[in-house]
Amino acid sequence: DTTLLRINDLQTHFTTRDGVVKAVDGVSLRVPKGKTVCVVGESGCGKSVTARSILQLVERPGEITGGSIEWRPNAESDWINLAALDARGEDIRRIRGDEIGMVFQEPMASLSPMYTIGDQLVEAIQLHRPLNRAEARELAIDQLQRVGIPQPKRRMDAHPFQLSGGMCQRVMIAVALSCDPALLIADEPTTALDVTTQARILDLLKDLQDQTDMAMVFITHDLGVVAEIADEVVVMYLGKVAEHGTVEEIFDDPKHPYTQALLRSIPTMRGSSSRQRLAAIRGMVPHPQNRPAGCPFHTRCDHAIPGVCDQEHPPEARFSPEHVAQCHLYDAQGRLTATTQANGTA
């Protein structure tokens, strides 16, 4: 078994004066060594909170209230439940950066404008490795080279504002990778970048992954990005996993009406001249505080079965060892139910 991370029934809730928001409500997923698991969904679906939960980076009033996040960087170690660690403790701090790296959407916001690229990279390296300053500096230059920054020696003395957004994101990736993490968590790392730069950063991440065999959890709202980079896909809706499967299963044979609608709503990708939106998903994502009863997608679903989907939580339907959807249209073995067939809804 080469699983590095297994999240089981994770609950991350935000307690506000107006009530409890279940931003993550029962998410389970696993990440195999060397693979990329994309977590995809519209904004507010809980994908970022899921990512931040892994490293105990959820900000108050958010809190992990249930489930487990088991981590094992290699087959020789024991499983550690990250969800049970003290968010400010030494253990999680060591794992952050040492074993699990993270890059965020806004590289500028993660780098300090006050210090040079070199200072920040050297500091990150020294935090996790017993190197003196000169050694750490050497390694920092290597890392900048590795992430495709031209004239790395000169860039060491640059301040973040002197670099483009794409270059800053490369620096952040260099920081995240400087300790050879077994897992990289990337939360919309290319969303703030233009299309060309985005493609280059995705290529870079794929190359680095080939070289190091690290795993990635890649958070995005963009199915085009998912098609580029994913091995496995987790589709989230309102804090829950609607469907998960291999990238082929999700793109070629989506089962959940939400996944199907998402795929219909993406602009046609490469190989086509038209980039228009094919169809928008009707209605709006309900506020997580007013989560609909039954299937959370029923207010927008064209296949919703009245009296069922709006009342009962959908069961798990399994289509293959990896391919699972939560939907009333299917039975546990992934066959269309008799009612569904009779109504011709799917």
Which listed option, ligand SF4, Mg ion, none, makes contact with residue 48 (CB within 5 to 8 Å by class)?
A: Mg ion
Q: Give the span between the Cα atoms of 137 and 121, in whole angstroms.
A: 8
CB of 300 to ligand SF4, least distance (A): 8
d(CA 317, CA 243): 9
> Nearest to Mg ion by Cβ — which residue?
48
Total number of residues that touch Mg ion (CB under 5 A): 1
- Closest distance of CB 290 from ligand SF4, Å: 16
Q: What is the b/e burial string over 33-45, where b = at least 16 CB atoms within 10 angstroms of the residue's CB?
A: bbbbbbbbbbebb
**C-beta closer to ligand SF4: residue 170 or 256:** 256
Query: Nearer to ligand SF4 by C-beta: 195 or 342?
Result: 342
Which one of Mg ion, ligand SF4, none interacts with residue 262, CB within 5 to 8 A by kind? Answer: none
Sheet holding 232-237, edge to edge: 100-103, 183-187, 215-220, 36-40, 232-237, 240-246, 324-326, 316-318
Q: How far apart are CA 83 and CA 66, in angstroms?
A: 8
Of the two residues 42 and 123, which places its CB atom closer to Mg ion in the complex?
42
In the numeric block, which tokens belong to residue 145? 């080279």
Pick the closer one to ligand SF4 by CB: 47 or 303: 303
Q: Which does 295 bind (CB under 5 to 8 A by kind): ligand SF4, Mg ion, none?
A: ligand SF4
User: Whole-angstrom Cα distance, residue 269 to residue 32?
Assistant: 28
Q: Rank residues 118 and 257 by Cβ distance to ligand SF4 and give the closer one.
A: 257
Residues that bind ligand SF4 (CB under 6 A): 256-258, 295, 297-298, 301, 303-305, 309, 314, 327-329
Please, which residues have CB within 8 angstroms of residue 93's CB and are 6 or more apart in sequence? Answer: none
CB of 227 to Mg ion, least distance (A): 19
Binding to Mg ion (CB under 5 A): which residues in 36-95? 48
Cβ-based neighbour number of residue 211 at 10 Å: 9
* Residues near Mg ion, by CB under 5 A: 48
